Structure 1
Amino acid sequence: MRVELDVQDFFYESSSTNSNLGDTDDRVTPETWENWFYRWLEILQPHLPPASSYEIGFRLTDDADIQALNAQYRHQNKPTDVLAFAALEVDFPHPEISADPLYLGDIVVSVNTAQRQAQQQEHSLPTELAWLAAHGLLHLLGWDHPDEESLMEMLKQQVILLETIGIDVHIEY
């Protein structure tokens, strides 16, 4: 299995003057993101349509950009932490395996919101970014949380994904 991850790091590219955000110590490299997504997709293989490789767009941005996307696509004119734009239907047919990567969709994360949430949760920015990226990936694969029970299942799966990459998070179930 191959994973092609298109990391668009707009936040860090445009935040060099921001002293609290965008520090190099808090930055997750594109290579690390690729490794994390590869490992996550290995675990989630039973939830994936068969393909020789998978493609995901991943964008780190700021509150203003994600607010514009949230207003445009969800009609909520406010920033949010993560948006996921799935390319496949939930009950997708299993296409013939192609040599081309199967495009799963795009994940957009606001680093501003992630920073605030990391401080509230008392963990690092990379931990929060990984948490949000894993959440977005699950949405791309059809997971949702319309009720408390499905939210708890999704959160448990996120914990498993983060533990796989060496990040220990604690949530109240």
Structure 2
Amino acid sequence: MSIEVLNESGEVPSPVPEQELADLGRHVLEQLRVHPLAELTITLVDEPAMAALHERWMDLPGPTDVMSFPMDELRPGHDEDEPAEGVLGDVVLCPSVARAQAAAAGHAVGDELLLLTTHGILHLLGFDHAEPEDEREMFDLQRTLLLTFLAQRGRSTTAAPEAGRA
């Protein structure tokens, strides 16, 4: 599995170590049985760069927290089929927007970025939250993936960000 993490946000050090973001990405992709040769890029950007992406692709003003750009429309694997190989796509995060959200929610910015990364990867895999039933499915899965990742890292899951939003 190829996971590249790029910090173009200007925040050094990053609020989340690049290796932790890559490890989370690997965890999510393995849990969802995505082909082991799939490629994923996670990029952290500043507010002007995120605002430009948000306006160009969503026709909405200002920066947002996370955006996903799927490439080969890969989907989670199932027991009865072999997952397809290819480029999953890009998840773009804005740490400064995540910082404000984390402060409002009362948790660490690093935890917010882990939540947003999980959310972005699920969007790459075709999950959405436009309809109530889809929202429940996506956010339940998001919560499970994030909490199992944190538990494997030996981190408390009681202080984890509310994984039912993003």
Q: Would you say same fold, with TM above 0.5? A: yes
- When Rg is computed on C-alpha atoms for both structures, the one with the higher figure is 1
* 1:108 partner SS: strand
Give 1:162's match in structure 2, choosing from 131, 141, 146: 146
Partner in structure 2 of residue 10 of structure 1: 8
Task: List gaps (5 residues or longer) in structure 1.
Answer: 16-21
Q: Verify the 8 A CA contact 2:15 2:95 in the aligned structure 1.
A: no
Runs of 4+ aligned residues of structure 1 deviating over 4 Å after TM superposition are: 94-97
The structural deviation recorded for 1:40 is 1.1
Partner in structure 1 of residue 154 of structure 2: none
Total equivalences in the alignment: 153
Partner in structure 2 of residue 31 of structure 1: 19
Partner in structure 2 of residue 18 of structure 1: none
Task: List gaps (5 residues or longer) in structure 2.
Answer: 151-156
Q: Verify the 8 A CA contact 2:39 2:87 in the aligned structure 1.
A: yes
Q: Verify the 8 A CA contact 1:10 1:60 in the aligned structure 2.
A: yes
The structural deviation recorded for 1:121 is 0.8
Task: Return closer, same or farther for 1:66/1:158 CA change in 2, 3 Å cut-off.
Answer: same
Deviations 1:136-170 (A, max 9, x none): 00000000111222112211111111112215344
Residue identity matched to 1:63: E
Task: Return closer, same or farther for 1:31/1:172 CA change in 2, 3 Å cut-off.
Answer: closer
Q: Verify the 8 A CA contact 1:66 1:110 in the aligned structure 2.
A: yes
Taking only the aligned residue pairs, the percentage that are identical comes to 28
Partner in structure 1 of residue 93 of structure 2: 109
The structural deviation recorded for 1:35 is 1.4
Give 1:63's match in structure 2, choosing from 14, 36, 47: 47
Alignment of 1:39-78 (within 5 A): 39-45=27-33, 48=34, 51-78=35-62
* 1:107 partner SS: strand
Partner in structure 1 of residue 124 of structure 2: 140
TM-score between the two structures when normalised by the length of structure 2? 0.81
Task: Return closer, same or farther for 1:70/1:126 CA change in 2, 3 Å cut-off.
Answer: same
The structural deviation recorded for 1:91 is 7.5
The structural deviation recorded for 1:28 is 1.9
